[in-house]
Structure 1
Amino acid sequence: MTLITTRFDATTTADEVVEGVDLSGTRAVVTGGASGIGVETARSLARAGAAVTLAVRDTAAGDRVAADITATTGNPDVHVAYVDLVDLPSVRAFTDAWTGPLHLLVNNAGVMAVPTLELTDRGWERQLATNHLGHFALTTGLHGALAAAGGARIVSVSSSGHLASPVHFDDLFFERRAYDPWQGYGQSKTANVLLAVEATRRWADDGIVANALMPGGIMTNLQRYVSQEVKDGWQRMQDEGRVTFKDTRQGAATSLVAAVAPELATGGHYLEDCNEAPTVANDAHVSAGVREWALDPEAAARLWDVSADLVG
């Protein structure tokens, strides 16, 4: 199968992706839009003329970012709404309050490598709860609005972290296996890809497509739980030329490709550096590409059903 390619690459910025794109009349929601690559994702969408809602936990930070986006883009149609992805009533309040079509949903918020096992009030491991289950509830709750848009897109921000773990259906919340921060993160990031696969299968007839992506290595508040030892190791790898970190504008670029590029009018794909990534075997020792387990349609359908039961 031929991989989808664009004219963009690892050095492209979000603004370069939307250059010449007119998003007037487009309504977008960006979760985690008050920090990291979420800010630049929202800014570039606004620069292209979209009405953007920042769905955030910290609405004061959201208000500051919204004001800055308006100041830098001249677009006053930037709004802030409270959503805490581990608090399902807040997710439902947001989806219930939404009126009219939604053309673009960017599931960007996330948490990485929580050092010790943390359970939500529902008994869910925090990384899966935040990165997947909260976004699942948000996405399914907005289905009607997405369908009403005609040609809506869902952008699921995953990570190369998904290479570390499939979804463990027999032990989602580490009740029987020892907790490992990176296994928990990897499972949640695989779930992000599977959501895109199954949403596209279920909702294609509604004109909705979903794609997942790895934004690249970007140092943001996402890494707040990562130890200094690990960060020092990453720095050594960059110094040795084995990895290259991106800034937040470059990190947001692949999200924008998934959001607006005509090449991504179909769904169920996984992108890296603004292009579709090759599929790699589940047992391959690699640091890039998308695992077979993240594109498995049977796992995607099963995860959807399990998630629907969990979130009600």
Structure 2
Amino acid sequence: MHNIDSDSEDELPAGWEEKSTQDGNVYYVNTVSKKTQLTHPRTGRKKVIPFELPFGWSKSVDAEGKTIYIQRETGNRTYVDPRLAFAKEAKEHVHDFRQRFDGSSTAFQVLHGVDLSGKYALVTGSNSGIGYETAKSLARHGCSVLLANRNMEATQQAIKRIVKETNASEDDLKSIYLDLASLQSVRKCALAVKALFSDHLDMLILNAGVFGLPYTETEDNIETTCQVNHLSHMYFAILLEPLLKKGSRVIFVSSESHRFASLKNVFLLQNLALPRDSYSSMMAYNNSKFYNIVTAKVLSEEWRAKGVTVNAVHPGNMVFTNLSKSWWLYRLAFLLVRPFTKSLQQAAATTIYAATAGELDDVTGLYFNNCFYCEENFLARDQNLAHELFAISLKMIADRMNTDYIQRYINKYTYICNV
């Protein structure tokens, strides 16, 4: 059985076989000389495999006392350890991993053989589009998913569709009300989530977003795109910090649009939202996606010591979703490019990869596109700038909300940035 990562370099020379030990090590046997070794005979690298069997597999012993592996869904039997298909090179450095998937990969492909039973995830903006595909893909592999949305009727319909399409248990799919245009709603939702998941949250996927809105303000008197896409998600993540334990992953769904952000007057006005008199719906979106990335950077620093990883992702260019519903011209543009864009399953792949891939254990503070990390806008790599933007965000929240849950951050960052 070949490694799903395999390329020509990984192919074994003639006469060699790849085998496994029960504790998750890979070794190699030369069938001619009977020599065994722990390193790949071509690459010289060591590999490890998961301790547990892949999702859907079990093992037994045949009449001759040999271990046999059984695929429960198909009934297929094999003497080859199916874990070998998921062998990974042992990493010398946390960022030492190769690309396994690309822009054409689907979320289901990323999750092939992955068992998420016993895992808990929360996905915002999950009653349609990429968020729905993300929730569906996680549930299909045994994850308990909390769908956090504003439209509860649509969310219940989404849950029914997921159960129908995946045979997931309806008991593992729950809904919760979250209106990102209201900081008060964000706070109430976070308190309710902490009551539901009193122990831990394995995946926090901040996916919801708006695009192409005319200038409007929320009940908090903040421009809507800035608050929904950035400020409320940042506040939500901080409020849920007590649920994030070692191994938890936080994913901010950003966009390549962050590369076109403009920070003009942000520091002068101490306000991340574009003012009415110079408002551009596209620039508001670009800026909000930039803020997603720098927020992920700052929180990755804050939570690194406790073993919580925080990364940002780009799902795909012009993915056809209802994100474009705000203006007929955007709907037309998305319709015209639809034949050339990713499917929703492909668009959800990078989020799923960042949330579940084994090789990303302890990988934090990165930006992923097409299921692999890439360099973000150079401004997003400026730590001082990130801290300053984070401080302004905190001030915007503190001006409107009780600061009990964010006081630690306010004390640290407003002092650093003199906000």
Shared fold (TM-score greater than 0.5)?
A: yes
For the pair 1:71 / 2:164, whether they are aligned, the reply is: yes
SS at structure 1 position matched to 2:305? helix
CA contact (8 A) 2:124 2:205 kept: yes
Corresponding residue for residue 191 of structure 1: 291
For the pair 1:94 / 2:189, whether they are aligned, the reply is: yes
Mapping of residues 1-312 of structure 1, within 5 Å: 5-76=98-169, 77-97=172-192, 98=194, 99-114=198-213, 116-147=214-245, 150-167=246-263, 168-171=266-269, 172-175=272-275, 178-217=278-317, 218-228=319-329, 232=332, 244-265=340-361, 266-277=363-374, 279=375, 290-312=376-398
Q: Which amino acid aligns with 2:357?
A: A
Question: Cα–Cα, structure 1 residues 298 and 45, in superposed 2: closer, same or farther, change >3 Å?
Answer: same
Query: 1:94 offset after TM fit, Å?
Result: 1.5
Query: 1:90 offset after TM fit, Å?
Result: 1.4
Per-residue Cα deviation, 1:42-84 (whole angstroms, up to 9, x for no partner): 0111111111000000011101111211222222201100000
User: TM-score when scaled to structure 2?
Assistant: 0.66
| In 1: Cα distance, 2:343 partner to 2:297 partner | 28
| In 2: Cα distance, 1:133 partner to 1:4 partner | 32
SS at structure 2 position matched to 1:271? strand
Q: Which amino acid aligns with 1:304?
A: F
User: TM-score when scaled to structure 1?
Assistant: 0.88
Higher mean alpha-carbon deviation, 84-93 vs 23-32, is at: 84-93
Question: Cα–Cα, structure 1 residues 298 and 66, in superposed 2: closer, same or farther, change >3 Å?
Answer: same
Query: 1:274 offset after TM fit, Å?
Result: 0.9
CA contact (8 A) 2:182 2:220 kept: no
SS at structure 2 position matched to 1:21? coil
Question: Cα–Cα, structure 1 residues 125 and 257, in superposed 2: closer, same or farther, change >3 Å?
Answer: same
Greater length-normalized contact order (CA 8 Å, ≥ 6 residues apart): 1
CA contact (8 A) 2:314 2:368 kept: yes
Per-residue Cα deviation, 1:94-113 (whole angstroms, up to 9, x for no partner): 11122221110000000012
Counting aligned pairs with the same residue, the percent is 34
Larger radius of gyration: 2
Query: 1:232 offset after TM fit, Å?
Result: 4.9
| In 1: Cα distance, 2:325 partner to 2:333 partner | 15
Per-residue Cα deviation, 1:187-225 (whole angstroms, up to 9, x for no partner): 000011111111110011111111111100311110112
| In 2: Cα distance, 1:95 partner to 1:234 partner | 34
| In 2: Cα distance, 1:87 partner to 1:237 partner | 33
Per-residue Cα deviation, 1:135-180 (whole angstroms, up to 9, x for no partner): 0111001000013xx2110011001111111443334222386111
Q: Which amino acid aligns with 2:210?
A: V
Q: Which amino acid aligns with 1:272?
A: N
SS at structure 1 position matched to 2:285? helix
Q: Which has the higher helix share?
A: 1
Q: Which amino acid aligns with 1:87?
A: S
Query: 1:237 offset after TM fit, Å?
Result: 6.4
